[in-house]
């Protein structure tokens, strides 16, 4: 399992949000470097954003959730075409689970376990 994982739940439908492209980026100077990407599975999860044996260095990271295609696919309004979640990694190898609770006109996130 990757040091960073995610799980997306569609709170309007009450079910996992599958097929959403998720990418992980590390801040480098004034820009961002992509570290990995993939799509959520049928349970709304993706756990391979970086290598399972990689310990991330301390710094700022961003997960980008490309929600536009998902909302189009379920015939829902596209108010948030993507969601960026920026967070700080301590650099000590701890696991970071970053869930996204999603609906057409809102979202929330938290640090899970």
pTM: 0.94
Domain 4-109, CATH class in plain words: mainly beta
Q: What is the pLDDT of residue 12?
A: 97
Using left for φ > 0, alpha for ψ between -120 and 50, and beta otherwise, residue 69 falls in: alpha
Q: Phi, psi at residue 72, to the nearest 5°? A: -60, -45
**Per-residue confidence (pLDDT) for residue 110, from 0 to 100:** 97
C-alpha closest to that of 75 among 104, 102, 101, 106: 104
Domain range summary for the chain, segments of one domain joined by +: 4-109
> For the segment 69-98, what is each residue's pLDDT rounded down to a tens digit?
999 999 999 999 999 999 999 999 999 999
Calculate mean pLDDT across residues 87-111: 96
Whole-number pLDDT of residue 113: 82
């Amino acid at each position: 399992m990757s040091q960073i994982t995610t799980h997306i739940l569609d709170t309007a439908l009450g079910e996992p949000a599958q097929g959403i492209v998720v990418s992980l980026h590390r801040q480098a100077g004034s820009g961002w470097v992509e570290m990995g990407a993939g799509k959520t599975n049928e349970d709304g999860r993706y756990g391979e954003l970086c290598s399972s044996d990689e310990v991330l260095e301390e710094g700022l990271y961003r997960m980008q959730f490309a929600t536009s295609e998902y909302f189009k696919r379920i015939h829902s309004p596209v108010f948030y075409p993507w969601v960026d979640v920026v967070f700080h990694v301590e650099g000590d190898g701890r696991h970071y689970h970053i869930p996204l609770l999603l609906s057409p006109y809102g979202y929330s996130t938290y640090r899970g376990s």
